A and B are shown apart, each in its own frame.
With several copies, the nearest count.
Chain A
Amino acid sequence: RESRTLPLGEDGQPEITIMVGGVDKVIYLPAMLTERLGGFERQGLRVKLLSEQSGANAETTLLSGDVHAVVGFYDHTIDLQAKDQCITSVVQLADVPGEVELVAANKADEIRSPADFRGRKLGVTSLGSSTDFLTRYLAGSAGLSTSDYTTVKVGAGQTFIAGMTNGGIDAGMTTDPTVAQLVNSGKAKIIADMRTEEGTRQALGGLYPASSVYMKCEIVERYPEVVQKLANAFVETLRWLKQHTPEEIADRMPPSFANAGRDLYVQSIRDSVGMFNGTGRMKPEGAQNVLNVLSQFSTNVKPKKDRIDLSRTYTTRFVDNVPAS
């Protein structure tokens, strides 16, 4: 396997495979939307989108060269630097996680804030995932230690909902459209909404940049012009998002994404679309905050927190060069 080069098609154009950490999640919506809007084609890129629910698996395939870019959470770039792997975020889609901490409706009276997490079962998509870190940070900020509560791996989508409704978990962190599904049906209430800047600052005391497009440092070095085209395509989509209504956005997405009902899907877009920053530019303050969180809760980062070089985990040089439309 070759992990240092991009495969070229017959016409010499690179063929790029992008792994999305759940192509149906609203927080990663720009990936599919760019494809549906023809953004990649306009840049002369041939792009294939793949989907992989587990973030860690997505990164592993990036490192092994099977895919060339990942749409996923920014915090993994730091995590991987702790493991001596260099990947860098080239387009930062959002400055906030887009995650929501939900609490089961019948427990809403007892659990009003993270301070009430003591002795509770807290759902996360997967252990070691960003939802895991964020959950621990929420609890930690409220003065709890990790032994005061249990985190349970519940995945996303249907299994999360099942966990929430049949008592498998008391509270849990997830994204849209799962949030919309639970809140609409009255099965859960929101106690921390990290889909907006305001909510995020309130919950985490700062920004937490999440959805991003990242690639291996080597590839970025070697193919700046390809990366530029990718950045162009994504930023174009981010701008498009700012100018269109949730209904218009939903119309552009594959119909199967609205399998559980179009109204629900539109609503989940409406709730979440504010998180996308429109520019693709990373805010240094946010990056620093992510490092703070990981330094406390990531087993990989904690011992190496002083050696992490944040400047290698993201770059704004491509989004800065995107022509104004």
Chain B
Amino acid sequence: MSREGLDVQEAVTDAPAATTTAAPARAPLPDTAAVQRQASAARRRRRAGMWALRLLLVVVWLGSWEAAATWWIDPFFYSKPSAIWHRLVEWFDIGTQFGSVWEQILITLEEAVLGFVIGAAAGVVLGVLLGRSRYLADVLAPFIKAANAVPRIVLASLFIIWFGFGLASKVATVVVLVFFAVFFNAFTGAREVDRNLLDNARILGASRLQVLGTIVLPSATSWILSSLHTAFGFALIGAVVGEYAGASKGLGLLISNAQGTFDSAGIYAGMIIITVVALVAEWLLTMLENRLLRWRPSASRSSAEVV
């Protein structure tokens, strides 16, 4: 990307200089367009082969599962792909016994997103604060370590006792899961800010607040953003576990109900929905990350050779 941008620059200003490069006795530069066409054709072939292989893997996997569940193993325990598919179709066509499946997804998402936002914001604020204040960080370090070692999933049922069966207890579960994931990265990001950048900002005349806003936060951004991927996964899990522990709606309830009614296809179907939601969220976060981190060299340094 960057190279392209610069090449345009070059083409405009230095076209004459470039032609003088070739020594008279040398073979002329070959038609790079042709070389390039060759290269991209090879790339396309490679990609097609890859997709074929992936498809094959999926077919073999699902096929052997279906076959096994039909003839050898008991689908009561292991379900089978066709049954799972039917359950999914049923849910999306007719709805679940608690109402439309979209409603369940939305409720779970609402809990996850709300908790995610609160947890991430708290994580960033506290992380940056402690990252920039050595003394506070030193004092609180043992408490944070201990709090981080608490088995947070177990808290879900405590939160139900404290906050009831509604939104609040699920959001609380999500918040504690998200908070630590974000906190540690924000902390590291804020602490590892390049000393030179800080000094430079001070020399250029920045106030304490300006340093925080223009140096510390942007520096920590890539750390924070990278933590958000894991954090959103945690958020979904937190919401599901919270619903699992007690709820009247949501994907976690769907799964726990499937478990209660010996509906193994339903368990798998619920898990597939959650997985898809997580993948979509992941994709959105990657988009956000790419937007916010435009200033970084592109990560894909795929400098494989042409021939």
Q: List residues of A whose CB falls within 8 A of some B CB.
A: 1, 22, 24-25, 48, 50-57, 59-61, 63-67, 79-80, 83-85, 121, 126-129, 132, 150-159, 161-163, 166-169, 177, 181, 254, 256-257, 259-260, 298-300
B283 at the interface (CB under 8 A from A): no
Is A153 touching B164 in the complex (CB atoms < 8 A)? no
> Which B residues are in CB contact (< 8 Å) with A121?
248
Q: How far is the CA of A273 from the CA of B241 in the complex (A)?
A: 33
B261 interface neighbour in A66, A169, A257, Cβ under 8 Å: A257
**Minimum Cβ distance to chain B for residue A121 (Å):** 7
**Residue of A whose beta carbon sits closest to that of B160:** A159
The answer to the question of B257 belonging to the interface, with a C-beta cut-off of 8 Å to chain A, is yes
User: Given the complex, which residues of A lie within 8 Å of B263, measured CB to CB?
Assistant: 256, 259-260, 300
Interface of B is mostly: helix
- A sample of 6 cross-chain residue pairs with beta-carbon separation below 8 angstroms, ordered by A number, consists of A57-B160, A63-B77, A67-B165, A152-B248, A155-B246, A157-B259
A126 touches B262 (CB 8 A): no
Asked if residues B260 and A157 are in contact (CB atoms below 8 Å), the reply is yes
**Binary flags per residue of B71-101, CB closer than 8 Å to A gives 1, else 0:** 0000011000000000000000000110000
Contact of B165 among A66, A127, A157 (CB under 8 A): A66
Q: How large is the interface on B (under 10, 10 to 19, 20 to 34, 35 or more residues)?
A: 20 to 34
B253 at the interface (CB under 8 A from A): yes
Choose among A79, A85, A128, A153 the residue that contacts B76 (Cβ–Cβ < 8 A).
Answer: A85
B262 — which chain A residues lie within 8 A by C-beta?
Answer: 56, 59-60, 79-80, 83, 157-158, 161, 177, 181, 259-260, 300
Select which of B160, B253, B266 is within 8 A of A61 by beta carbon: B160
Q: B269 to chain A: closest CB distance in Å? A: 12
Give A122's nearest chain B residue, CB to CB. Answer: B248
Interface of A, secondary structure class, is loop
Alpha-carbon distance between A69 and B225 when the two chains are bound, in angstroms: 45
Contact of B253 with A256 in the complex, beta carbons under 8 Å: no
Q: Which 9 A-B pairs have the closest CB atoms?
A: A128-B260, A168-B165, A128-B261, A127-B257, A152-B248, A260-B262, A66-B165, A66-B164, A162-B161
User: What A residues does B264 contact at CB under 8 A?
Assistant: 158
Contact B260 A126 (CB under 8 A): yes
B264 nearest CB neighbor, chain A only: A158
